[in-house]
Amino acid sequence: MSDNKTTLAIVDDHPIVQEGLQKLLVNAPDITIVGCFTTGTDFIRFLKEHAVDIVLLDISLPDVSGIDLCREIKKLWPDTSVLALSNHSERSMVLQMLQHGATGYLLKNISGEELIACINEALNGQVTFSKAVKEIMSRPSVNELKDVPRLTKREKEILQLIADGMTTTDIAGTLHLSPLTVETHRKSLLQKFEVKNVAAMMRAAIALKLI
Amino acid sequence: MSDNKTTLAIVDDHPIVQEGLQKLLVNAPDITIVGCFTTGTDFIRFLKEHAVDIVLLDISLPDVSGIDLCREIKKLWPDTSVLALSNHSERSMVLQMLQHGATGYLLKNISGEELIACINEALNGQVTFSKAVKEIMSRPSVNELKDVPRLTKREKEILQLIADGMTTTDIAGTLHLSPLTVETHRKSLLQKFEVKNVAAMMRAAIALKLI
DNA sequence: AAAAAAATACCTGGAAACAGGTAGAAATAA
DNA sequence: TTATTTCTACCTGTTTCCAGGTATTTTTTT
């Protein structure tokens, strides 16, 4: 690991990104890029024969999920550092990658110096984030902390129909219920989402992928 | 436009992508990259002084929306070809960009040869897509065909506040307007979205990424 | 300078939503 | 078999929304 040269592999299906990473890394003379891969299976085939120190891994590949691939890599070479590369910075995704063996999480808007710094941190065995990710991880956002309301079957059903633009009486009609019953369910929904009207509820429900 | 050299500008906040695009374009000797920009405002400032033939435009910039920026560009230089660059290939987004003056829509997994081919097509005045986008555009899906409402500034503002769960009077308070005015805007919103209540509007707005 | 679009504000009346309860039957879990 | 949860349904008000207008001022475009 602490040889004179660090070996690095790039796994990303975007030629633009591959080229860009290579260019950013020419300023790091002690890093050798030993391979560029566009699919997870290609890369794993290569990994079975060769070890690398660092993997820059796009987590949205066409063939396999970033999580699965990360686990595969660590199974083959536990000492390899995997730096996840992504466009999205959701806390949950970052945590998930770390949980499956990634050493760091970088957004693709990273700069050259930052990238090299992160690689060096990873070589020292540290967990590393790009700047934007650091911020997100440091302040757990309100919105992501509150737990997802557990809705009953009926409530989910009614939530869906509300999203379709139906009124209480419309819903009562299609579900063969009393409008008063539907109102009761609607009230529970508002309570569970901790909001005061359907507009806010819709946004919350969609954000939580309940619709 | 048909000089010996084609001028091209890159607008993308990802250094990796900027470098990658530059590298891919070294194989096209008749294209000169006249500028790389990381924000929309930077680019517009430049554009006010210089014309370019082609703009490679990332549609998810930190400061302004791709749609707005595209319109700005075409207003300044109607003959400039804007090629939208994106990671996502939703029909609605493609249509929206075309509607606002883009000449093409490219996914970031495009290859070097494909990119150069698309640029040449754009120079010939043709609408051009990268391979993956072509496929998606060839099979229209029912639900994505309805057009995106063009909202005014005020309307966008009010839409946002409605999504936050505010009532008409709340909104009037925060914007220092008469509740009656807010009601008028709210009515226009419902009309433009062709829905009967905010629940349906929220879903539509979120689906169209207007929130 | 004229025309079009956007932003402002008003009116009326009916429909729907929201807030605060209570309460019995049915299904599930402990 | 108790508990607990879910589903059902009702009641009383108040608030907000929605639909149908009209109309003036300001801004933007042509």
Name the residue closest to D10, CA to C1'.
A180
Q: Are residue A44 and residue A99 in the same domain, yes or no?
A: yes
Query: pLDDT tens-digit profile of B130-143?
Result: 887 777 766 544 44
| Domain limit, last residue, from A141, A163, A180 | A141
Residue B97 lies in a domain: yes
- Quick count: other Cβ atoms within 10 Å of Cβ B198? 22
Give the separation between CA A181 and CA A197, rounded to whole angstroms.
18
Q: B106 and B57 in one domain? A: yes
Query: What is the mean pLDDT for each group of 10 consecutive residues in chain B (211 residues)?
Result: 77 92 90 92 89 91 81 83 86 73 87 91 83 69 55 90 94 93 95 92 85 81
Is A77 among the domain residues? yes
pLDDT at B197: 95
Residue A3 has pLDDT above 60, yes or no: no
Together in a domain, B35 and B127? yes
Query: Would you give the DSSP letter of residue B195?
Result: -
In DSSP notation, A99-152 reads HTT-SEEEETT--HHHHHHHHHHHHTT--EE-HHHHHHHHS--HHHHSPPP---
Q: What is the pLDDT of residues A183-208, one digit of tens each?
A: 999 999 999 998 999 999 999 888 87
Cα A191 from Cα A172, distance rounded (Å): 20
| CB < 8 Å to B163, chain A | 199-200, 202-203
Q: Are residues B118 and B95 in the same domain?
A: yes
Residue A147 included in any domain: no
Residue B145 lies inside a defined structural domain of this protein: no
B158: exposed, middle or buried (Cβ count in 10 Å: 0-12, 13-18, 19+) = buried
> For B142, which DSSP code?
G
Residue B87 and residue B60 share a domain: yes
Pair B11, B59: CB distance under 8 Å: no
Same domain, A135 and A158: no
In this structure, is residue A148 part of a structural domain? no
Question: In terms of domains, do B122 and B187 share one?
Answer: no
Of the candidates A95, A116, A141, which is a domain's last residue?
A: A141
Which of A93, A108, A141 is where one domain is finished? Answer: A141
Q: Output the domain CATH number for residue B73.
A: 3.40.50.2300
A42 and A13 within one domain? yes
Range of the domain at B57: 6-139
What residues in chain A have their Cβ under 8 A from chain B's Cβ atoms?
Answer: 13-24, 87, 108-112, 162-165, 167, 195-203, 206, 211
Protein footprint on strand C: which nucleotides are under 7 Å from a CB?
5-11, 15-23
- Is B157 contained in some domain? yes
Q: What is the CATH number of the domain that holds A175?
A: 1.10.10.10
* ipTM of model: 0.60
Tell whether A66 and A37 lie within a shared domain: yes
**Residue B135 sits in the same domain as residue B157:** no
- Distances in Å between the Cα of B120 and the Cα atoms of A203, B45, B59 are 43, 26, 21
CB atoms within 10 A of CB B95: 18
A136 and A171, same domain (yes or no)? no
A75-79, A124-128, A132-136 — which one is most confidently predicted on average?
A75-79
Q: Which residues of A touch B135 (CB under 8 A)?
A: none
Helix-strand-coil split of chain A, %, nearest 5: 50, 15, 35
Q: Is A69 inside any structural domain? A: yes
| Higher pLDDT among residues B76 and A43, named by residue | A43
Q: How far is B13 from chain A (nearest CA, A)?
A: 6
Q: How many domains does chain A have?
A: 2
B71 and B120 in a single domain? The answer is yes
